[in-house]
């Protein structure tokens, strides 16, 4: 089995079922039709519940006919009995009766299905041509507590927050400190942030407020308000982000909102955390817009470009905090040049014991990390603090003696002070570490990630390598995220390995090294597989030998391919 066979086999499992509950667009660019195309393109099985028939082409909508209440309910009941969804995208709801039926039905299935589906509501209100699809006073409040994510555009957000029935409950003002000078664009941006937070609070769900129709923005910037996100770093739960992409100026944008919400449902159905689903869906829409095409005389449609695999299509992510709220326009992260790796990391042991570290260097190991949880900040014991610094001085010296790439985990100040080859930091450290100082002295930087979202945040700092984990279950560290597994690792590698050295970590040992190698990941970090072995040096050498064999075999074309 070569690596491409393995990749396609691991990714081509039975497709997860995703539903769209939406209106039919006879022109094929938006609604049910866009959703089903998206689901097919993203390896999901799409089922449809049609709420409305529209007679439309690329120029205008000539007739809108709502399906009967019994037909709506019959579609829901029939599908649920046989094809239960992992995720549901809800688009056009044309009447109050439809909102109410759906709310009752969602309440009921939440108590009957073993796994409640993830529900995305794209509150479609007007067609891109300007035609209104549903009554101005539509009340979405029956859906409160039944939705996981809302994806209004600027127009819909304004209507939900300021004009519709929900807005009657609103009595807050834009809470701006009068002493802060804010330019008019930032005021609009702050209004979006405030509205998105309000809506998230009312619906008790995540809100992605889209900026595609906010033409006053230079870039297209969405506001993403997340509630609690199991499986994500605590720094990224209950947080507000700006997700910014270069504005793609095109008339071929019909159905972009439908495509985004159904793509989010698909990535959720493939078991990605919501942060990942959102950035992947944005990349999917960006690629679709960039390659969109025109068929009729009006706006054209998005291209279908498959699983996003292009870093340039990914949005830039900025965490909004009370400190940077006033500069709400998007500022790029300052660019630092970190030292490049001098040699591949290969099998990269992570150790906390000086003796083991020395044994491994003597056994030929050329890249190693010193990871100790002796904590210089919180430890009141000055002896421990002294031990930590003495150890760091010692391991840096050993690294130099053996011409090895010696990384210090966490303790970047001591690594800087004593001139380590590099530091390895986690996502939580990114807010506090002085990355400019690390780059300025010519040190390398390795960053951890546990999702697409975190790997993209790492990428925004252009590190020397990106670690991807944890791949398999581990007892070495308590992880907030779930094991990523081989399929996700393969996806991450495909996106990042053209740009960075990639390192897999977590539960890796001699017995699973082959499946790791088949993902195409460049390097492998191990803790227990070396440190817990009876003879760490021998364990390292066995892993290294097998890794070299595997990577050589996988990078060479097979004999039969050469003959052909
Ligand atoms: C190579 C490598 N990858 C990941 C980690 C984990 O770093 P972090 O997320 O900061 O967690 P701690 O190791 O500090 O517990 C690593 N150390 N090395
Ligand atoms: C520190 C860390 N970060 C992600 S997984 C991990 C521990 C990996 O340890 P092991 O190789 O023993 O599973
Ligand atoms: Mg750390």
pLDDT in tens, 364-375: 999 999 999 876
Distance CA 113, CA 19 (A): 15
Return the closest-CA partner of residue 33 out of 43, 18, 20.
20
What is the residue range of 540's domain? 347-563
In 15-82, where does DSSP find H-type helix?
31-41, 69-82
More confident residue, 563 or 220: 220
Structure confidence at residue 114 (pLDDT): 82
Between CA 100 and CA 109, with CA 103 as vertex, the angle to 5 degrees is 140
CA of 123 to the centre of ligand 3 (A): 41
Q: What is the pLDDT of residue 509?
A: 98
User: Quick one: which of 33, 119, 134 has its CA closest to 76?
Assistant: 119
The verdict on 237 and 368 lying in the same domain is no
With 60 as the cut, is the pLDDT of residue 330 above it? no
pLDDT band at residue 332, thresholds of 50, 70 and 90? low
Check which CATH number belongs to the domain holding 83 and give it: 3.40.1190.20
Residue 465 sits in the same domain as residue 516: yes
Helices (H) and strands (E) in the chain, counts: 18, 18
Question: Can you point out the beta strands (E) in 117-261?
Answer: 118-121, 149-150, 206-209, 220-225, 240-245
For residue 59, what is the DSSP state? S
Q: Is the dihedral of CA 236, 237, 242, 243 positive or negative?
A: positive
Q: Which two tokens stand for residue 371?
A: 């990871």
The H-or-E segment that residue 445 falls in is strand 444-449
With a cut of 90, say whether residue 133 has pLDDT above it: no
Domain boundary among 320, 355, 375: 320
Quick one: pLDDT band at residue 319, thresholds 50, 70, 90? very high
* Residue 372 among known ligand-binding residues: yes
Residue 248 lies in a domain: yes
559, 418: one domain: yes
Nearest CA to ligand 1 atom 10: 426
Residues 97-106: what's their mean pLDDT?
97
* Sheet with 17-25, side-by-side order of all strands: 61-66, 45-56, 17-25, 87-90, 118-121, 149-150, 206-209, 220-225, 240-245, 316-320
Distances from the Cα of 464 to the Cαs of 204, 334, 376, 405, 471, in angstroms? 39, 16, 25, 12, 20
Residues 216 and 287 reside in one and the same domain: yes
Question: Residues lining ligand 1, CB < 6 A?
Answer: 350, 369, 371, 409-410, 424-426, 446, 448, 467, 469, 477, 503, 505, 525
- Tell me the C-alpha distance between 272 and 16, whole Å: 12
Output the pLDDT for position 431.
Answer: 87
Note whether 314 and 355 are same-domain residues. Answer: no
Q: Which of 31, 213, 67, 60 lies closest to 131 in space, CA to CA?
A: 60
- Residue 492 and residue 521: Cα distance in Å, rounded? 9
Task: Give the residue whose CA is nearest to atom 1 of ligand 2.
Answer: 477
Q: Tell whether 282 and 355 lie within a shared domain.
A: no
pLDDT at 457 over 90: yes
Model confidence band, residue 220 (pLDDT cutoffs 50, 70, 90): confident
Is the same domain home to 222 and 257? Answer: yes
Identify the nearest ligand to the CA of 235 by its number: 1
Residue 187 predicted with pLDDT over 90: no
What is the mean predicted confidence (pLDDT) over 164-187? 59
Q: Which of 525, 458, 537 is nearest to 496 (CA)?
A: 458
Residues 6+ apart with CB under 8 A from 187: 174, 176
User: How far apart are the CA of 226 and the centre of ligand 3, in A?
Assistant: 24
Q: Is 474 in the pocket of ligand 2 (CB under 6 A)?
A: yes
555 part of a folded domain: yes
Q: Is 456 inside any structural domain?
A: yes
**How far, in whole angstroms, is CA 151 from its chain's centroid?**
16
Q: Which residue, 305, 320, 335, sits at the end of a domain? A: 320
Angle value at C-alpha 92, between 90 and 98, nearest 5 degrees? 85
Question: Does 449 share its domain with 314?
Answer: no
Q: Is residue 246 part of a domain?
A: yes
In a domain, 339, yes or no: no
Q: Are 505 and 328 in contact (CB under 8 A)?
A: no
Q: Is the CB of 236 under 6 A from ligand 2?
A: no
Say which DSSP state 419 is in.
Answer: T
Q: CA torsion sign, 96 to 101 to 107 to 110?
A: negative
Buried b (16+ CB within 10 A) or exposed e, 108-147: ebeeeeeeebbbbbbbbbebbeeeebbeeebebebbeebb
Domain count, the chain: 2
CA distance 89 to 343: 47
Nearest to 271 by CA among 16, 466, 543: 16
Looking at residue 308, what is its pLDDT?
98
What is the pLDDT of the chain when averaged over all its residues?
90
Using DSSP's 3-state secondary structure scheme, residue 350 falls into strand
Determine the pLDDT at residue 350. 98
- Indicate whether 327 belongs to any domain: no
What is the rounded CA–CA span in Å between residue 265 and residue 149?
10
Of the residues 367, 429, 455, 467, which should be mutated to test ligand 1's pocket, given the most ligand atoms within 8 Å of the CB? 467
Instruction: Give the DSSP H or E segment for 422.
Output: strand 422-425
Q: Which residue has tokens 């421990």? A: 384
The response to whether residue 539 sits with its C-beta less than 6 Å from ligand 2 reads no
Protein residue with least CA distance to atom 4, ligand 2: 470
Look at ligand 2, atom 13, and give the residue with the nearest C-alpha: 507
- CA trace torsion 284, 285, 291, 296 (10° rounding): 140
Are 308 and 372 found together in one domain? no
Strands 87-90 and 149-150: unpaired
| H or E element that contains 526 | strand 523-526
In a domain, 303, yes or no: yes
Q: Kindly provide the b/e burial profile for residues 512-525, where b requires at least 16 CB atoms within 10 angstroms of the residue's own CB.
A: ebbbbbbbbbbbbb
Q: Are residues 309 and 354 in the same domain?
A: no
User: Could you write out the DSSP letters of every residue in 173-209?
Assistant: -----TTS---HHHHHHHHHHHHHHHHHHHHTSEEEE
Mean pLDDT of the region 188-216: 89
Strand-strand pairing, 61-66 and 45-56: antiparallel
Q: How far apart are CA 348 and CA 535, in angstroms?
A: 16
149 φ, ψ (degrees, to nearest 5):
-145, 135
The verdict on whether residue 409 carries a ligand-binding annotation is: yes
Which bound ligand lies closest to the C-alpha atom of 521?
Answer: 1
- Write the CATH number for 414: 3.20.20.70
**Residue 59: CB atoms within 10 Å:** 12
pLDDT band at 270 (very low <50, low <70, confident <90, very high): very high
**Same-domain check for residues 376 and 283:** no
Relative to the alpha carbon of 410, which ligand is closest? 3
Closest-lying ligand 1 atom to the alpha carbon of residue 425: 10
Beta bridge partners of 301: 254, 293
pLDDT score of 5 more than 50: no
Same domain as 103, residue 22? yes
Spacing, Cα 422 to ligand 2 middle (Å) = 19
Is 429 annotated to bind a ligand? Reply is yes
* Ligand closest to CA 479: 2
Mean pLDDT of 6-19: 71
Structure tokens at 53: 């028939």
Q: Residue 209: inside a domain, yes or no?
A: yes
ipTM: 0.97
Residue pair 366/405 in contact (Cβ under 8 Å)? The answer is yes
Token pair of 95, please? 């009447």
Least confident of 292-306, 322-336, 468-482: 322-336
């Amino acid at each position: 089995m070569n690596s491409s066979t393995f990749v396609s086999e691991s990714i081509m499992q039975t497709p997860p079922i995703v539903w769209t509950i939406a209106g039919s667009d006879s022109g094929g660019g938006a609604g049910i039709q866009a959703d089903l195309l998206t689901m097919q393109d993203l390896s999901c099985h799409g089922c449809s519940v049609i709420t409305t028939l529209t007679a439309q082409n690329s120029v205008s909508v000539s007739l809108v006919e709502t399906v009967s209440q019994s037909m709506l309910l019959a579609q829901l009941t029939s599908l649920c009995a046989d094809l239960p969804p992992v995720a549901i995208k809800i688009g056009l709801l044309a009447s109050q009766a439809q909102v109410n039926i759906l709310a009752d039905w969602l309440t009921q299935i939440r108590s009957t299905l073993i796994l409640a589906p993830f529900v995305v509501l794209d509150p479609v209100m007007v067609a891109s041509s300007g035609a209104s699809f549903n009554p101005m006073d539509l009340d979405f409040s029956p859906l409160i507590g039944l939705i996981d994510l809302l994806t209004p555009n600027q127009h819909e957000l304004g209507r939900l927050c300021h004009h519709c029935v929900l807005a009657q409950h609103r009595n807050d003002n834009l809470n701006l400190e009068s002493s802060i000078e804010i330019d008019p664009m930032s005021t609009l941006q702050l209004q979006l942030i405030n509205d998105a937070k309000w809506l998230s609070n009312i619906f008790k769900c995540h809100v992605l407020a889209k900026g595609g129709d906010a033409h006053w923005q230079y870039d297209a910037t969405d506001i993403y308000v997340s509630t609690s996100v199991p499986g994500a770093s605590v720094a990224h739960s209950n947080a507000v982000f700006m997700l910014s992409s270069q504005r793609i100026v095109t008339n071929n944008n019909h159905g972009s909102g439908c495509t985004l919400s159904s793509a989010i449902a698909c990535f959720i159905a493939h078991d990605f955390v919501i942060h990942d689903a959102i950035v992947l869906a944005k990349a999917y829409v960006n690629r679709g817009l960039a390659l969109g095409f025109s068929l009729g005389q009006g706006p054209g449609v998005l291209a279908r470009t498959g699983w996003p695999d292009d870093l340039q299509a990914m949005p830039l992510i900025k965490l909004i905090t009370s400190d940077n709220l006033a500069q709400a326009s998007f500022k790029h992260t300052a660019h630092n040049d970190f030292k490049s790796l001098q040699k591949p990391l290969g099998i990269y042991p992570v150790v906390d014991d000086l003796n083991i570290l020395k044994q491994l260097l003597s056994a030929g190991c050329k890249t190693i990390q010193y990871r100790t949880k002796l904590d210089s900040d919180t430890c009141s014991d000055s002896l421990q603090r002294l031990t930590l610094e003495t150890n760091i001085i010692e391991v840096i010296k050993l690294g130099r003696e053996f011409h090895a790439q010696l990384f210090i985990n966490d303790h970047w100040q001591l690594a800087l002070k004593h001139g380590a080859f590099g530091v390895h930091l986690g996502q939580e450290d990114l807010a506090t570490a002085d990355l400019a100082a690390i780059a300025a002295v010519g040190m390398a930087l390795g960053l951890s990630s546990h999702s697409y979202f975190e790997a993209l945040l790492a990428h925004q700092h252009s590190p020397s390598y990106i670690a991807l984990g944890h791949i398999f279950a581990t007892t070495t560290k308590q992880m907030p995220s779930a094991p990523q597994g081989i399929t996700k690792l393969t996806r991450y590698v495909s996106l990042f390995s053209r740009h960075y050295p990639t390192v897999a970590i977590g539960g890796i040992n001699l017995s699973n090294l082959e499946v790791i190698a088949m993902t195409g990941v460049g390097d492998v970090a191990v803790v227990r597989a070396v440190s817990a072995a009876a003879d760490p040096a021998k364990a390292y050498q066995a892993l290294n030998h097998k890794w070299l064999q595997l990577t050589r075999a996988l990078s060479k074309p097979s004999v039969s391919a050469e003959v052909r």
